[in-house]
Amino acid sequence: MIHIGNMTRRFASLTAVDRLNLDVARGEIFGLVGPDGAGKTTTLRVLCGLLDPTEGAVSIGNLDVGKNLDAVKDQIGYMAQKFGLYGDLTVEENMIFYSDLFGVTGQGRAELMTRLLDMTRMSPFRTRPAAKLSGGMKQKLALMCTLLHRPQVLLLDEPTNGVDPLSRRDFWDILYQLAKDGMTILVSTAYLDEAERCHRVGLMHKGRLVRCDVPDALKAVIESMSFAAEAEDLRQARHTLRQVPGVLDAEPAGAQLHVYLESGVKKEDIESRTPGIRLWPIRPSLEDVFIALIRAEERHAGN
Amino acid sequence: MNFRRLRAIFRKEALHIIRDWRSLIMALAIPMMLLLLFGYALTLDVDRILTVIYDQDRTPQSRALIARFEGSRYFEITVRDGSYHDIDAGIDKSEVLLGVVIPKDFGRRLEQNQEAPVQVLIDGSDSNTASIAVGYAEALLLAHGAELRDESTIRRGLGKLKPPVDGRIRVLYNNELKSKNFIVPGLIAVILMIIAALLTSLTIAREWESGSMEQLLSTPLRPAELLLGKLLAYFVLGIADMAVAVAIGVGLFGVPLRGSVPLLISASALFLFGALCWGIFLSTVTRSQLLAFQASLLTSFLPAFLLSGFIYSIENMPWLIQQITRIVPARYFVAILQGVFLKGTGLTVLWPQVLFLAIYMVLVLTLATRKMRQKMA
């Protein structure tokens, strides 16, 4: 449904997105995860035609974004990081405004609005000015505004940024509902726990897609690389470990160290070189995976 | 261009304007305030010139001259039996503009049919007012002299002497020579320019700053629709401002409206549209409300005030400045307003000005649309 083919976007000397390849299937929730400046927002902007790619091409449902921008706009719902709700307009007025822009009117609009308001449990707030909504409700209103023209593809740029955990779960429940009905969703996030809710996750770092897989597989890959270590002097142990070839990184985690090894390196190899430090496998969280993969990426880039 | 999307933008902007009642009141009150302030304060008329008389002569002849000063509406005698000291001190403190000194032998010289000089002292620091005051004083003394001469010739049975040249002056238009009549129409142009450019200068920048522009760009909305929808909303407000200004000008200041009202309305609409486009253009270029506001203030207020010919006559400006005024739209609108209000001139005379406003509008509109069409970065 979404195809990104060897896409690069540069701003002057900065390469925001570097030869990105990505395909997202219909009905899939794909999570784009990475720190600030990883190129997530640029990727989404290129997908909805706000930016042109410097190289490569992107298409939405077989339509090339560069060539058929108008047709593409009808197919996608884009929710920018700072969604442009108008605070002085009510929930309903915001929805009517955006549906007017997409040419959605009449009976169909009224029914869809009612359905969306019910689904998001926002009906009681129809006439409230958007400025007086809570953060979570604002995000739900923004989502509704992007759904009014019945798009096939949703592009969400950090949709739950700054929203409380409960509202975030609420928001994700709506996304699952939409995906079940066949909506393709590409969502960027800086929250790793949120990435675990996606069907597939792509880790972005410095404009490149470091790894792309289902959350569990990503963890499995990294499971063979992730260990915990205990030592009397954590600082000293960390210093020692980081000197050993084959160790990607050692990060303090509570009373332990989390140690990441290059793939293929066995824990016995390390233990033999660091007397007094014992390693045992851990079940990594996505956060661990993320750190390990980025360290590996940096190591490769350095070499 | 899609009418539904245009209407959606127009409706949204109208809601912004109505809901933000503080700005709405400002938009309507500022023109009124400016008009009242300038209309009352900015007068170029010189009357009630504060005058000190130093009568050294104290004869019936000198008193007759003083009576003439007192009788004129242009002079107000503050001190009747002053001295050089009163005149000096008064001028120093700006309490006195004019001093008239009648020398000791004034009456005697008149009786002997000799030339009788009178000294007039004037504060020349405000050169404009001073030269007008001097003109009034000269005219008064001349008239007085002529009357005295007539009296003496009549007494001698020779009858009234006819002056060799008798100018019959008739003032066309503004025949009371009230500067208000001249200032107020020009003022309307200045106010409209400021208000229009300021109002719209914020509107596109606000969308960029709040992030809603990115959202709008991802919809099928076309730049021209966004631009025109916003323009139309502010256009309604601008026309309301215009109506308020004209009502105050005619109703309160009694400026005559001699020309065609349809011409006035259509020329104003043209000018207003151009000014609104200018504000939008600045807003699009700067993408920052603060910058756009400052830029529009600078590029609308100063040229409209100084270079439009609304007070400062363009003919008296240096050649280079005169050429610059040619690209100031307010200049043409001021000419149209003064023509329509005071002279009742029509399109047959004013078409070049109207044509310029039309060209200006199209030019700025095109420029703004071009600029809008650009992508995010």
Question: Cα distance from A52 to chain B (closest Cα, Å)?
Answer: 8
Asked if pLDDT for residue B286 goes beyond 60, the answer is: yes
Using an 8 Å Cβ cutoff, are A97 and A128 in contact? no
Whether A88 and B5 lie within 8 Å, measured CB to CB: no
Chain A positions touching B7 (Cβ under 8 A) are 100
* Structure confidence at residue B30 (pLDDT): 84
pLDDT digits (tens, 9 = 90+) for B174-186: 666 677 788 888 8
Q: According to CATH, where is 3.40.1710.10 located in chain B?
A: 49-155
Nearest to A93 among B2, B15, B216 (CB): B15
Q: Above 0.90 for ipTM, yes or no?
A: no
Consecutive H or E run containing A259: strand A256-261
DSSP conformation letters of A88-149: TSBHHHHHHHHHHHTT--HHHHHHHHHHHHHHTT-GGGTTSBGGGS-HHHHHHHHHHHHHTT
- Residue in chain B lying closest to A69 (CA): B220
Give the span between the Cα atoms of B307 and A99, in whole angstroms.
46
Burial class of residue A97 in the structure, from the number of CB atoms within 10 Å of its CB (0-12 exposed, 13-18 middle, 19+ buried)? buried
- What's the pLDDT at B160? 67
The reply to whether residue B375 touches residue A50, judged by beta carbons under 8 angstroms, is yes
Residue B23, min C-alpha distance to chain A (Å): 13
Proportion of chain B above pLDDT 70, given as a percent:
96
Digit-coded pLDDT (tens) for A166-210: 888 889 999 999 999 899 999 998 777 788 889 999 988 888 888
Distance, in Å, from the CA atom of B121 to the CA atom of B97, rounded to the nearest integer, reads 8
Sign of CA dihedral A91, A93, A98, A100: positive
Q: What is the pTM of this model?
A: 0.78
What's chain A's Rg over C-alpha atoms? 22
Size of interface A-B (CB pairs under 8 A): 79
* Distances A62 to A25, A66, A75, A104, B82 between C-alpha atoms, Å: 12, 12, 11, 24, 99
- Give the domain B49-155 fold: abc type-2 transporter like fold (3.40.1710)
Is the pLDDT at B375 greater than 70? The verdict is: no
- Sheet of strand A278-281: strand arrangement: A247-253, A256-261, A226-230, A278-281
- Would you say A228 and A253 are in contact if contact means Cβ atoms under 8 Å apart? yes
B76-94 residue pLDDT tens: 988 888 888 888 888 898 8
Query: What confidence category does residue B200 fall into, taking pLDDT thresholds of 50, 70 and 90?
Result: confident
- Let me know: does B242 contact B191? Beta carbons within 8 Å: no
Which stretches of chain A sit within 8 Å of chain B by CB?
11, 45, 48-52, 70, 73-74, 76, 78-86, 88-89, 93, 96-98, 100-103, 105
Look at A102 and B220 and tell me if their CB atoms are within 8 Å: yes
Residue type at position B293: F
Give me the pLDDT at residue B119, please.
Answer: 92
The answer to whether the CB of B91 falls within 8 A of the CB of B129 is no
Is the minimum CB–CB distance between B130 and chain A shorter than 8 Å? no
**Nearest CB partner across the interface for B215, out of A74, A83, A96:** A83
Closest C-alpha to A80, from A172, A1, A176, A187: A187
For chain A, residues with pLDDT lower than 70 are: 222, 285-286, 301-303
pLDDT in tens, B313-356: 888 889 999 998 888 899 999 999 988 988 888 888 889 999 99
For A88, the closest of B15, B213, B377 (CB atoms) is B15
**How much is the pLDDT for B204?**
86
Span B152-173, average pLDDT: 73
A105 chain-B contacts, CB cut-off 8 A: 4
Query: b vs e for B327-356, b when ≥16 Cβ sit within 10 Å of the residue's Cβ?
Result: ebbbbbbbbbbbbbbbbebebeebeebbeb
CA angle B14, B17, B23 (to 5 degrees): 165
Q: Is the pLDDT of residue B232 over 90?
A: yes
Find the farthest-apart pair of alpha carbons in chain A and give their distance in angstroms, rounded.
75
pLDDT at A303 (0 to 100): 52
Give the pLDDT confidence score for residue A229 in this predicted structure. 85
| pLDDT of amino acid B203 | 86
Residue A113: the pLDDT is: 93
CA A96/CA A79 separation, integer angstroms = 16
Chain B residue with Cα closest to A52: B375
